[in-house]
Amino acid sequence: MPRHQRILSKSGTYHVMMRGNERKNLFLDEEDKQRFLETLFAKKKEAGFSLFAFCLMDNHVHLVIQEGQESLATTMKRINTSYAYYFNQKYNRVGHLFQDRFKSETIEDERYLMAVTRYIHNNPIKADIVEKAEDYKWSSYKYYLAPDKPESRNINTDVILRSISLDQTQAIRAFKDFSLQKDTNQFMDINEDEAWTLEESKVYLEEYLKKEWSGYQMQELMKNKNTRNEIVLHIREKTNLSIRKTADLLGITRGRIQYLK
């Protein structure tokens, strides 16, 4: 499928999303998340871009960035390459860490900037990780609640807070209220319900079999009705593959899947 040309923002501001290659996690522990933030903030100083918001989830990242001295593509390449090198060294792995190209959408006004920021700060709530945005450690929400703290200088909180009120205390209170409001807009995000590619499914199947059925051969598992049905149901539920692609992946007939008994 041909790549679509990236839409350029007149303001130079973008909502950016990166996800793990083959839907794998980008972060396996808190040290990984901390390292990504250190990389992000270091590249911010080097390239001079402005960072309005971020949220690190296990298998994807949301950023709100305004271009600095270089293009968004160059900035993202620097961030991704540096973090991927750390991750591959730490876990003794090779290959791509991030899925192909990052996704981006343009932000042209303060109203949409606020809405996007609210959306990504609420990602951990949507994922049932926390009940309140301030309870999540790995987003920029806490910087908006304490903009004068030294660590908050990595985030450009002024644009949003000053657009609300020049009185910082009032601005923070209103920002918290705004963050609790529901939004019916559709924002860029990962689609977990989207069917996996066969390549993604093969990687997942290998890891699943290694974890749950270590020591057994695939053909042996497929001959047993109970184990076959269990694996088929698990793979279909996890990957959303069609019956035909599931049959191809597991090396069985479509009938075995259509009429599970």
Higher pLDDT, 190 or 217: 217
Alpha carbon distance 249, 258 (integer Å):
15
Q: Partners of 14 in the beta sheet?
A: 65, 106
Evaluated on CA atoms 220, 222, 223, 225, the torsion sign reads positive
Least confident of 123-132, 172-181, 199-208, 245-254: 199-208
Residue 36 to residues 41, 57, 103, 200: CA-CA distances in angstroms?
Answer: 9, 12, 18, 24
Instruction: Give the other-Cβ count within 10 Å of 177's Cβ.
Output: 10
What is the predicted pLDDT for the residue at 233?
80
User: Do the beta carbons of residue 42 and residue 48 sit within 8 Å?
Assistant: no
User: Do the beta carbons of residue 111 and residue 171 sit within 8 Å?
Assistant: no
Mean pLDDT over residues 213-228, rounded?
Answer: 80
Q: Does pLDDT of 197 surpass 70?
A: no
Q: Partners of 160 in the beta sheet?
A: none
Evaluated on CA atoms 178, 182, 186, 192, the torsion sign reads positive
Higher pLDDT, 10 or 83: 83
- Strand pairing category for 103-107 and 50-56: unpaired
> pLDDT tens digits for 55-106?
999 989 999 999 988 999 999 999 999 999 999 999 998 878 887 678 889 9
Query: What predicted TM-score, i.e. pTM, was given to this entire model?
Result: 0.73
> pLDDT tens digits for 112-163?
999 999 999 999 998 899 999 999 999 999 999 999 999 899 999 999 999 9
Alpha carbon distance 53, 68 (integer Å):
15
Q: Does pLDDT of 2 surpass 50?
A: no
Q: Does pLDDT of 1 surpass 50?
A: no
Q: Does pLDDT of 221 surpass 90?
A: no
Higher pLDDT, 254 or 93: 93
What is the predicted pLDDT for the residue at 198?
67
Alpha helix positions (H), 97-224: 110-121, 123-126, 141-145, 158-164, 168-180, 198-212, 218-223
Residue 233 to residues 202, 209, 220, 224, 258: CA-CA distances in angstroms?
Answer: 15, 14, 17, 14, 11
Least confident of 36-45, 183-192, 225-234: 183-192
For residue 236, what pLDDT band results from cuts at 50, 70 and 90? confident
Q: Count CA atoms within 13 Å of residue 67 on its CB side.
A: 17
> pLDDT tens digits for 16-50?
999 888 778 899 999 999 999 999 999 999 999 99
